[in-house]
């Protein structure tokens, strides 16, 4: 497997080794010892999630306030633009983001450590998105940052997006840490 460092501390892109032929393919989506040794992911995963969304759906940018979740994310069907945002005001990369295309074709994964906001935008007609989490989802602990916050200046590949009512009402990053 190939691990690609990003500008955000701890956020890495993982390219698993894919074994394929004319019959299909096989890959390991997670193997504790290998991910710990090569990607420095040394946390227990307690919950797996699967979401299906359609072209233009944007989910995020979400995080949990007091029980932050690390997320190992991948796309099983389709293609998304996946984003991690540094929301730690004491970090030298505060307010910056890393964006990467994840797809069923490239098999890439993104490791988003606890303490980052996360979101994705579906670029294909349909996308099945799976992620392993390091803590349990708690709706009372959830917070987020508005996807179009001008201070973040995220270069989303589509501007005509479909958002949940909740995601439309998320605050700007500066208002969360005010």
Q: What is the pLDDT along the chain (178 residues), one digit of tens a residue?
A: 999 999 999 999 999 999 989 999 998 999 999 999 999 999 999 999 999 999 999 999 999 999 999 999 999 999 999 999 999 999 999 999 999 999 999 999 999 999 999 999 999 999 999 999 999 999 999 999 999 999 999 999 999 999 999 999 999 999 997 5
* Residue 70 within a domain: yes
Which residue among the candidates 30, 35, 62, 116 is catalytic per the annotation? 62
Distance CA 139, CA 131 (A): 17
* Catalytic residue status for 131: yes
Instruction: Give me the domain span that covers residue 132.
Output: 2-145
Q: Is position 35 within any domain?
A: yes
Helix (H) or strand (E) holding 176: helix 173-176
Which of the residues 35, 97, 116, 131 is marked catalytic? 131
Residue 140: half-sphere exposure toward Cβ, Cα within 13 Å: 0
Inter-residue contact 17 to 1 (CB < 8 Å): yes
What are residue 42's phi and psi, to 5 degrees?
-125, 60
Q: Is residue 141 part of a domain?
A: yes
Count the domains in the chain.
1
CATH no. for residue 41? 2.60.120.10
């Amino acid at each position: 497997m190939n691990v690609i460092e990003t500008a955000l501390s701890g956020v890495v892109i993982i390219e698993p080794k894919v074994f394929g032929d004319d019959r299909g393919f096989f890959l390991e989506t997670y193997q504790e010892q290998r991910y710990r040794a090569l990607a420095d992911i040394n946390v227990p995963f307690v919950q797996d999630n699967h979401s299906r969304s359609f072209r233009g759906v944007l989910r995020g940018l979400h995080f949990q306030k007091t029980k932050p979740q690390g997320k190992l994310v991948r796309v099983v069907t389709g293609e998304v633009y996946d984003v991690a945002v540094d929301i730690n005001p004491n970090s030298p990369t505060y307010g910056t983001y890393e964006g990467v295309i994840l797809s069923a074709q490239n098999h890439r994964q993104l490791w988003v450590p606890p303490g980052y906001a996360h979101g994705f935008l579906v670029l294909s007609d349909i996308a099945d998105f799976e992620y392993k989490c390091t803590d349990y989802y708690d709706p009372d602990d959830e917070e987020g940052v508005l996807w179009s916050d001008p201070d973040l200046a995220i270069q989303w590949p589509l501007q005509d997006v479909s958002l949940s009512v909740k995601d439309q009402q998320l605050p700007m990053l500066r208002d969360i840490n005010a």
